[in-house]
Structure formats: C-alpha cells, structure tokens
Amino acid sequence: MHNNIYGVIGGLGNEAMVDLARKIINIPGHERSSYILYGNSRLAYKPEEVEHEWLPTDEPELRKKATAIHTARIMQFLRCGTVGLACNSAHDLFRDVMSDVPVKFVDMIYETARSVQGVMGKVLVLGVTSLVDSGLYQTALEEYGVTAVKSSVENQKKVMTAIYDSEIGIKTAKVTPEAESLLCEVLRDECDRQGCQHVVLGCTELPLALTKESCIRFKKAGLIPDTLEIVDASSVLAGALVNTDSPSSSLNCSPQLYCAERTDWFPPVAFHVENLEEFVSIQTRIFQLTVSYLEKKGKTLAGSYMHVPTLFAVGDIPDISHKFNALTENILTVDEDWEKQLVEVLEKHFN
C-alpha cells in the first residue's frame, strides 16, 4: 500500500488540473504514490459573476468559502496527507480554509516565488485581474527579494479576453490562435515598456497556451523576445507537491457535516483508476463530451462553473469504494457504457 496520498483541488478550471497531472507524470517516481483529484467546478464564479469586484460579505464570496470548506474536508475524508490547488487566484481563500484542516497545503504562489529567488530585474506577473490586483504574487516575490510588476490596464484587458472570451478564451476548453496572439502582444509590449526578463504565469490557464513548445515557436517567429524566461507556476507546484512527504490523513465523520447552507454542491462524477495517464485520458474525454453536449443544445462552455464536477482516485487508497459511495451516486467504471452514463449525468447537471 502506498504511504503518500496527494490531493489536487481543481475545477477553477478543470483543464488546469489535467495540465498539473501531466506535469506530475513527468516527475520520476510519481507512480509510487496515490492521488485524489477533485475538479470541483462549483468553486468557480458563475459566468455572470466573472470580472466583478466582490466584497467578502457578498453572496458569491460567501458561497465560494462555504464550498471551499466542504471541498477541503472531502480531501481529508479521502485520506489526502498533502493538498495542492490548481488555481492561483483562489490561494488566499484556501490558505484560510486549510489552516483549520489537518492536511499539508503546498502553496503554489510561495513555492513559485522561492523558485525565482535571486532573479535580477523586474518580474512580470501575468494572470486574471483579481489575482494581479490582489498583490498575492507581488507580496510573495518581494519577500524573496524580487521586484514584481503587472500589466497595463489595456494589456490586462487582453489577458482577460484570452482567458475568458466565450469564442476564443482558454476557458472554453480550447487554445485558439487568437488567444495566443493576444498573449504574445501583451508579453512583447510589457517587455519593451518595463524591461522584464521573466514572466510568472500566475493563472493556471496560461500554461495551456504558453507551453514550452509554443514559446519556442513564438520566439522563432519573433512574437515574444528571445530573452524572456517563462516561469510556469503549475510546474513548480507539481515538483513541490510530489517532493513533500504526505502521510495519509483521516476524517472520522461524514464530510457532509461540513456542507453548510451556502455550500454549492453537485455530486461529482467519480472514477477509480490505476494511474495518472488514465485520469488525463478520461478527464480530457469528459471535456470533449461536455462541449459536444452543449453544442447540441445550441450553447457554449462559458467558464469553469459549467463543467460537471469530477472526482478521481488514482492508485491504492484504503476503502475508496465505501468513501465514494458516501459522497456521490455518480460512480462510473471505465467500460463501454461510461460515456453514455456521463451524458445522463450531464443532463442532470445542466438541468
């Protein structure tokens, strides 16, 4: 039986959770551990709530906090000893929530800041507006002696379009040439104006477009400066997460006791699979089926909240069948009928 059970909280959006899993796969020895990956899309803002400035006492924030508490307790219930969050902007929320949960929380923002300690010159923080305006990265980077800057107002609008636009945005479960072009424009302009040599990808959607391979292509085409160093926060998280000792935790009561009045809950689609490669394959197929389902209804995937929540157990996890049964009726087995069963769950989800 594996001693280490690592948890990944995603859903803000789920594509970032898959990207993080791919990066963990590249770490030697990762297969000796077990994993829980919970893509709880109910942690995200609803499409109509995006790009608003909410106070902590506003309903969207109260809903997100209640949902985060329930999510954290589910990870404890599933015996995770260490948890990472596949979302930058939700770190402030989960720092608070995880402080009350006896599970190690690997902080992607501080791990990323530590990874660039000693860098000279300005470091551009690229991400959603709420993140760059919050100062989360700026604070962490400055603690490690690094000067952090953010994009101009006009360039920030381009970043948000590249991430959220209903036609070309990365959160529509695809990376379009238009989104790539906007991000390259921002990087060129900010490097010219501010003299940045490094950029931190402080949104887990951005590494989907600014991959190692695509950045080589952009540099060859003169779309971004040759000297620009890309710092992928999710890659940093993957390494930090798997290199943290993770003795299993436990919760001796039902996590539903932590389901409060404002908790946003939809029973996740759950799978128990052998390895992370299988998780990546199934979750990617779920994205495709979701987009196809919505297209047949004449709709588009407008943001993370619209994804069906998913829950994966990877490897040997004690009593996982019983624990899944305590959480959801949507437990699927990878067989010839699973895609048909998923469509039935999508019907419930979108109704």
CATH number of the domain enclosing 52: 3.40.50.1860
- Average pLDDT of the residues in 79-100: 94
Q: Nearest to residue 86, comparing CAs of 237, 209, 245?
A: 237
Helix (H, G, I), strand (E, B) or coil at 221: coil
Q: Is there a single domain that holds both residue 87 and residue 119?
A: no
What phi, psi does 124 have (nearest 5°)? -80, 130
Q: Is there a single domain that holds both residue 193 and residue 265?
A: no
Q: Is there a single domain that holds both residue 20 and residue 65?
A: yes
- Average pLDDT of the residues in 337-344: 95
Q: Is there a single domain that holds both residue 45 and residue 137?
A: no
- Average pLDDT of the residues in 239-264: 90
Helix (H, G, I), strand (E, B) or coil at 106: strand
* Mean confidence (pLDDT) of the chain: 93
- Residue 315 is part of which domain span? 5-107+241-350
pLDDT at 173: 74
Q: Is there a single domain that holds both residue 144 and residue 99?
A: no
Express as a percent the part of the chain with pLDDT over 70. 99
Q: Let me know if 242 is exposed, middle or buried by CB neighbors in 10 A (0-12, 13-18, 19+).
A: buried
Q: Is there a single domain that holds both residue 221 and residue 314?
A: no
Reported as a pLDDT band with limits 50, 70 and 90, residue 130 is: confident
- Cα distance between residue 333 and residue 339, in whole Å: 10
What phi, psi does 348 have (nearest 5°)? -65, -45
Reported as a pLDDT band with limits 50, 70 and 90, residue 23 is: very high
- Cα distance between residue 59 and residue 41, in whole Å: 17
Q: Is there a single domain that holds both residue 189 and residue 297?
A: no
Q: How many CB atoms lie within 10 A of CB 335?
A: 8
Q: Let me know if 329 is exposed, middle or buried by CB neighbors in 10 A (0-12, 13-18, 19+).
A: exposed
Q: Is there a single domain that holds both residue 77 and residue 117?
A: no
Structure tokens at 341: 């069963």
pLDDT at 248: 80
- Average pLDDT of the residues in 277-296: 95
pLDDT at 320: 95
pLDDT at 1: 40
Contact yes or no for 227/219 (Cβ under 8 A):
no
- Cα distance between residue 343 and residue 351, in whole Å: 12
pLDDT at 14: 65
Q: Is there a single domain that holds both residue 201 and residue 344?
A: no
Q: Is there a single domain that holds both residue 58 and residue 206?
A: no
- Cα distance between residue 316 and residue 219, in whole Å: 43
Q: Nearest to residue 108, comparing CAs of 23, 40, 211, 213?
A: 23
Q: Is there a single domain that holds both residue 118 and residue 219?
A: yes
For residue 59, give every residue at least 6 positions away whose Cβ sits within 8 Å of its Cβ, in sequence order, or none: 262
DSSP state of 4: B
pLDDT at 323: 95
Q: Is there a single domain that holds both residue 167 and residue 276?
A: no
Q: How many domains does the chain have?
A: 2
Is there a cis peptide before residue 298, judged by omega within 30 degrees of 0?
no
- Cα distance between residue 271 and residue 333, in whole Å: 6
Identify the helix (H) or strand (E) that includes residue 2. none
Which of 180, 202, 234 marks a domain boundary? 234
The gap between the terminal CA atoms of the chain, to the nearest Å, is 41
pLDDT at 2 exceeding the cut of 80: no
Which of 234, 261, 292 marks a domain boundary? 234
Which of 213, 234, 255 marks a domain boundary? 234
Contact yes or no for 291/302 (Cβ under 8 A):
no
- Cα distance between residue 4 and residue 82, in whole Å: 8
pLDDT at 67 exceeding the cut of 70: yes
Computed over its alpha carbons, how large is the radius of gyration of the chain?
Answer: 20
- Cα distance between residue 218 and residue 216, in whole Å: 6
pLDDT at 303 exceeding the cut of 50: yes
